[in-house]
A = this chain, B = another copy of it.
Amino acid sequence: MLTAARDQFWTTGYAGTSMDAIAAATGLGKGSLYGAFGGKRELFHRVFGDHCDEAIQLANRRLSGADEQALERLTAYLMDHAAFSSDPRHRGCLLAKTTAELTEHDEVVSARSLGAFQAVQQAITADLEACQRNGDIDPAADPRQLAALLLAVHRGIEALGKAGTDESTLRNITETALAGLPRPALSPAENAGSPRRSA
């Protein structure tokens, strides 16, 4: 029911969605909607908040686990996002669309957007720290800065995918970004022994 309302906002945006459309999509009468949520704005806040929570949980779930697979998880997370974003059926991230449309006009939305992005960045940071513990990434690097970069790449892929960029380009972007991460400085002698992800 909330998902039907969310989908409606998702495809037509906040301003482009009428309460009648939501009533039709959910099967509820308009009176019920106003009674339950107060109004269009409040309903959207509810829907948007839930969506942010889900997105954060998803990132945390996909990026947490054993140190040995940390780089694998990160790669998969970004690669899947690239594949997903380039799908023409993809409506685009609701978080991105909402931020673009409403962040200047709605404090609640603005705060929640920023919070969501920071939470995802935090999840990436944690995963990068795991990569460092596993020897996949230079331990001297600041994982928060790398995470910020990867989040930016993540959001950039989202934006470019929505514009119609094809999948291989988006995957290449991900690969190039990951290739640019600082590797541990190995003295030539110790090439062999250090732990790396499995192929």
**Is residue A3 within 8 Å, beta carbon to beta carbon, of the partner chain?**
no
CB neighbours (8 Å) of A111 from chain B are: 164
**Is residue A101 within 8 Å, beta carbon to beta carbon, of the partner chain?**
yes
Q: Taking A117-B165, A156-B153, A163-B114 as contacts, is the C-beta distance between A100 and B103 under 8 angstroms?
A: no
CB neighbours (8 Å) of A12 from chain B are: 15
**Is residue A154 within 8 Å, beta carbon to beta carbon, of the partner chain?**
yes
**Is residue A162 within 8 Å, beta carbon to beta carbon, of the partner chain?**
yes
Report the Cα distance A74→B164, complex, angstroms.
25
Q: Number of A residues whose C-beta is below 8 Å from B?
A: 45
Interface flags, A170-182, vs B, CB<8A=1, else 0: 0011001100111
**Is residue A151 within 8 Å, beta carbon to beta carbon, of the partner chain?**
yes
Chain A at the B interface: mostly helix, strand, loop or mixed?
Answer: helix
Structural contact, B164 and A159, CB atoms closer than 8 A: no
Stretch at the interface among A23-31, A54-62, A91-99, A188-196: A91-99
CB neighbours (8 Å) of A92 from chain B are: 100, 103-104
**Is residue A160 within 8 Å, beta carbon to beta carbon, of the partner chain?**
yes
Report the Cα distance A104→B94, complex, angstroms.
13
Stretch at the interface among A42-50, A64-72, A142-150: A142-150
Most buried by B among A92, A114, A155: A155
**Is residue A136 within 8 Å, beta carbon to beta carbon, of the partner chain?**
no
Structural contact, A159 and B99, CB atoms closer than 8 A: yes
Structural contact, B113 and A163, CB atoms closer than 8 A: yes
With both beta carbons as reference points, the residue of chain B lying nearest to A180 in the complex is identified as B180
Structural contact, A103 and B180, CB atoms closer than 8 A: no
Q: Taking A145-B172, A164-B113, A173-B148 as contacts, is the C-beta distance between A101 and B159 under 8 angstroms?
A: no
With both beta carbons as reference points, the residue of chain B lying nearest to A82 in the complex is identified as B152
Most buried by B among A91, A99, A176, A180: A176
Q: Which 3 A-B pairs have the closest CB atoms?
A: A180-B180, A152-B156, A156-B156
